[in-house]
Structure formats: structure tokens, C-alpha cells
Amino acid sequence: MSATRKIIIDTDPGQDDAVAILLALASPELEILGLTAVAGNVPLKLTEKNARKICELAGKPETKVFAGAIRPLARSLVTAEEVHGQSGLNGPELPEPTMPLQAQYAVDFIVETLMKEDSGTVTLCPLGPLTNIALALIREPKIAPRIKEIVLMGGGFFEGGNVTPAAEFNIYVDPQAADVVLRSGVPIVMMPLDVTHKALTTGKRIAAFRDLGTRVGIATAEMLEFFERFDEEKYGTDGGPLHDPCVIAYLLKPELFKGRHCNVTVETASELTMGMTVIDWWGVTKRDKNATVMRDIDHDGFFALLVERLGRL
């Protein structure tokens, strides 16, 4: 097996975050240096607890979980209990975690890890608002050239937004943080709604998780059955978009995705379009190309990977 890829997952669980974390924990190609929780779908005290619940569900209580930013850089926190439920992980009954939360502040962990590990060997995988990542870049600008890649779920363009007509949730919650990350010069791979909306949790796909017959498979089916109801009603589709696992699937099988290197700029002034990611897909500006934006996915291959890997836990 080729050398494992070192990653830090920054997350606001969230059922789709949970499936992404399970996929990463099930994949020997990845060495998870830590999970850093951020306020997003639900407040920080729940996202850090949920991250620990998922590690214990996966049978990986040794995983290091850190708590990070309690609110966005500048704006007030906007949460999404209407999608994820009050706990942020509604669906399965998961026990209170017994594994410890690390004492170190997540932002300090990110900086310390990037300064300690060989330069260019650590990939950051943000699955929520980019507050922790921006704070780390501001706290220690020297980490920017040391980051191998940032592979993030966030943004949208042709698909529009999901929390306003213009903005996707992760970017909308902390547009100033997204601006710091997009201007950082770090190589970025972006999974916007344009690609995640093509990865729908249809009834057949949820049944495949349940048919694993394992604690993880059944809990995943229960999480997704809760998570999808909001988007099924909104979009009238069979199933909801499974956003965050696209980030981890890209690390494991990049060939599942197709996209293009282009400029992405975020709106941080107008309240009408706050958090909108303006993606110059057709190259009509001279703005620097700062992200590889994914727009297509082999969704059958994506779900086959998910079921096969989660079946290992």
C-alpha cells in the first residue's frame, strides 16, 4: 500500500459530516492526525461531542478530537437544527461519549501539527464553516506553504445556494473565514453544491447501508433517513445530497470527480449575496485561479465506495 496520507478533518457534525468521518476512519490509506470541531450545524459544545460519538461508533476511541471556534470570525453564528435536529445527529440513539476531548485548542493543534510534520505532507479537510482554518492561517501565516492541500465542502454556483438563494451554508456562516482561505495561496479542491447535489441518498442506497447489518451500517441508515427529509421536501427528490463524504471520497478515489481549476471569490459585503462563491468557471476574468472546483461525480461509484468502506467498521 502506498504511504498513508496525513489529514486533519475540521468538522461540524452533522449527519453528513458523520458519514465522512466514518469513511475516513474505515480507510487505511488515511492517517487521521486529529478531528477539529467547529461551530456550524449546531453549537460547538454539540459538534465536539458528536465528533466523539462518531469515533466511538466506529470503534476508534483513540482518535484525537479537539474543540475550536465557538463562533464565526465576524458574524453571529447561524446553525441548522432544522436540517440536522437539535442534537445535530438526530436519527440513531448514540450513547454519550466516554473518550476524552483533547485539552488543546483546535487552532493551536492545527498550527502545531503543520509546523511539526514535514512540509507539504498534511491535507486539511474542512467539512463546515472555515473559522478554524482561517484562525490558524492568521495565527501563524508560516503554515500556508506547509499545507499539502485543502479539500473542502462548501460553496455553490450553477446550483445557487442552500441557505440563501446565493450562498451555501458553510461559506454563508463565515464568509470572512472563507475569504482568508481562498486568498491563502494554498492549493484548494472545492466540493460545492454543484457536485454534492448529484450524490443523492436514494431509498436503495440507504437500504444498502442498513443491509450491512452492522452497528455502523444501521446507524448510518438512521442518520441519513433523518438528514434527507429536509432536502427531499425542498427539492422534491428521492433522497438528499450527501455533501461532506465527497471530500474524503476525493482523497481515496479522485477519479470519481470531474472539475476545473478556476477563480473562486466570496462575497463579504452585500447582505443580499453574503457568502456567495463567485466561480469564474468560464475564465471571463483575469483573477488568479485559486481552486479546483468539482462539478461532476460518478455517484454510483461514490456510494459503492461508501458501503464497502463502512462495511469494514
DSSP letters, 235-278, are: H--SS-B--THHHHHHHH-GGGEEEEEEEEEE--S-SSSTT-EE
Indicate the residue among 66 and 169 with the shorter CB distance to ligand RIB.
Answer: 169
Closest distance to Ca ion from the beta carbon of 14 (Å): 4
d(Cα 135, Cα 63) in Å, to the nearest integer? 23
Closest CA to 16 of 200, 141, 186: 200
Binding partner at 48 among Ca ion, ligand RIB, none, C-beta below 5 to 8 Å by kind = none
Catalytic residue among 84, 197, 243, 299: 243
Nearer to ligand RIB, 17 or 228 (CB): 17
Residue 162: contacted member of Ca ion, ligand RIB, none (CB under 5 to 8 Å, by partner type): ligand RIB
Report in angstroms how near the CB of residue 36 gets to ligand RIB at its nearest: 14
List, in order, residues 6 or more apart from 212 with CB less than 8 Å away: 218, 307, 310, 311
The reply on whether position 128 binds ligand RIB by CB under 6 A is yes
Q: Taking CB under 6 A as the rule, does residue 267 contact ligand RIB? A: no
Q: How far is the CB of 44 from ligand RIB (least distance, A)?
A: 13
**Shortest Cβ distance from residue 90 to Ca ion (Å)?**
15
Of 174 and 280, the one with the shorter C-beta distance to Ca ion is 174
Binding site for Ca ion (CB under 5 A): 12, 14, 17, 127-128, 244
Stretch that binds ligand RIB, among 31-39, 66-74, 166-174, 279-287 (CB under 6 A): 166-174
Q: Clarify whether 243 is annotated catalytic.
A: yes
Pick from 312, 164, 189, 297: which is nearest to 251 by CA? 189
Nearer to ligand RIB, 73 or 153 (CB): 153
The residues assigned a catalytic role are 243
Residues that bind ligand RIB (CB under 6 A): 12, 14, 16-17, 40-41, 127-128, 153, 162, 168-170, 243-244
